[in-house]
Amino acid sequence: MAVKIEKSLLRVLGGEVLAMPPVWLMRQAGRYLPEYRATRATAGGFLELCYSPDHAVEVTLQPIRRFGFDAAILFADILLLPQALGAKLWFETGEGPRLVPIVTRDDLERLNPVEAIHDTLAPIYETVRRLTAELPKETALIGFAGAPWTVATYMIAGRGTPDQGPARRMMYDDRALFADLIDLLTLATIEYLARQIEAGAEVVKLFDSWAGALSGSTFEEFALKPAQKIARALKSRFPHVKVIGFPRGVGGGYEQFARTGDFDALALDSSVPARWARDVLQPDVAVQGNLDPMLLVTGGAQLRHEVERLQEILGNGRWIFNLGHGITPEADPRHVEELLNIIKG
């Protein structure tokens, strides 16, 4: 007789409907926690924190110790992969990441081959291995990567932009160059996530934070198809692995993701109507989300109202409670405790 999966996140991803949904929060390890701020000060810069297994394990475990979430997500950054490919990466204090832009064919050809990424990323895999040993037995471990389109927007512009204009311009001006960059990132993401799974990740999540900047055929070609290719390759190698997609901001495009059958869950951004998700998405896939992160800043009666509303609408199907985007630095840990008390009684 097969052993029943006890981790609630894996049960929902495996098709079960639970009376009490599993709970974890995007960016649950982060600046809203005083213990995170103390660890980061010890580690030095942000990249030093990501590449130090001692520190990365510690900050991944902090919200589990404090709140008892049903899943931990690896502490890392989506731009570690382009750095492993040879893109120069640094962080400007108060402004965010910077990369030397990829703008020509020569820039692309100077990047490292996919097989070379693992030396740089070895500390990330070590963090996953340690977490596998140190997490409570009931807590699932999630690995992750940025989706090719979102990572490409940073690589082409050299930074985050309001409308992903530089990447969209290359997509139209030099389709071959842009497509080759997406293909490289797709293959590299498969290998990166495969190593995370081999190190112990039970679930992987693909963050396409800027998918909403694409539309029509470009959405299908550069958001949907690369995500499908990644999910299918991983499931072919690791039939047990569960994949969560997060095509943020795509509106009705979520339905296209749901109907592929390639994803075990879709994370919903805060703009997705819960009733639409129940009626259109939940019959095909588990859904994750999608509380407004601002409610963990404000707390109070409106937080309770919105959590209970989501419970009423989504609670009779396959559902993972989460936010519609990452928890903000201004969030109050007391409101996270309040949230958990509402969900778990």
pLDDT (tens digit per residue) in 23-41: 999 999 999 999 999 999 9
How does residue 1 score in pLDDT terms, banded at 50, 70 and 90?
A: very low
Average pLDDT over residues 102-128: 98
Per the prediction, the chain carries an average pLDDT of 96
CATH code of the domain made up of 75-237: 3.20.20.210
Is the model's pLDDT at 345 over the cut of 90? Answer: no
Give catalytic status of residue 110 as yes or no.
no
Encoded tokens for 83: 């750095």
Mean pLDDT of 74-89: 98
- The per-residue pLDDT for range 181-195, each reduced to its tens digit, is 999 999 999 999 999
**Whether pLDDT at 48 is above 90:** yes
Q: Helix H segments across 158-268?
A: 165-173, 175-199, 216-219, 225-237, 253-259
Kindly list the distances between the CA atom of residue 123 and the CA atoms of 49, 50, 75, 232, 330, in Å, as whole numbers in the listed order. Answer: 11, 8, 11, 26, 30
Per annotation, catalytic residue among 32, 36, 51, 154: 154
Question: What whole-number distance in Å separates Cα of residue 296 and Cα of residue 160?
Answer: 25
pLDDT of residue 4: 52
Give the Cα separation of 102 and 159 in Å (integer). Answer: 11
For residues 210-235, give the mean pLDDT. 97
Threshold 0.85, pTM exceeds: yes
Tell me: the pLDDT tens digits for 259-314? 999 999 999 999 999 999 999 999 999 999 999 999 999 999 999 999 999 999 99
At residue 37, the pLDDT reads 97
Peptide bond into 290 cis (omega under 30): yes
- State mean pLDDT over 9-18: 98
Looking at the predicted structure, is the pLDDT value of residue 334 above 70? yes
Q: Tens of pLDDT along 134-182?
A: 999 999 999 999 999 999 999 999 999 999 999 999 999 999 999 999 9
* Residue of 11, 27, 168, 248 marked active site: 27
List the catalytic residue out of 11, 32, 77, 264. 77
- Residue 95 pLDDT grade (very low, low, confident, very high; cuts 50, 70, 90): confident
27 counts as catalytic: yes
| Res 5 pLDDT > 90 | no
CA separation for the pair 338, 340 (Å, rounded): 5
Give whole-number Cα distances, 102 to 133, 154, 160, 308, in Å: 39, 9, 14, 46
- Give catalytic status of residue 154 as yes or no: yes
A 10 A CB-CB count for 312 gives 10
Nearest to 149 by CA among 206, 99, 208: 208
Tokens of 129: 């291995």
In this structure, what token pair is assigned to residue 290? 């999608």
Section 236-260 average pLDDT? 98
Judged against a pLDDT cut of 80, whether residue 3 lies above it is answered with no
Which residue ranges make up each domain of the chain?
Answer: 75-237
Beta bridge partners of 79: none
Residue recorded with tokens 């140190």 = 134
Mean pLDDT of the 111-125 span: 98
Specify whether 172 is catalytic. no
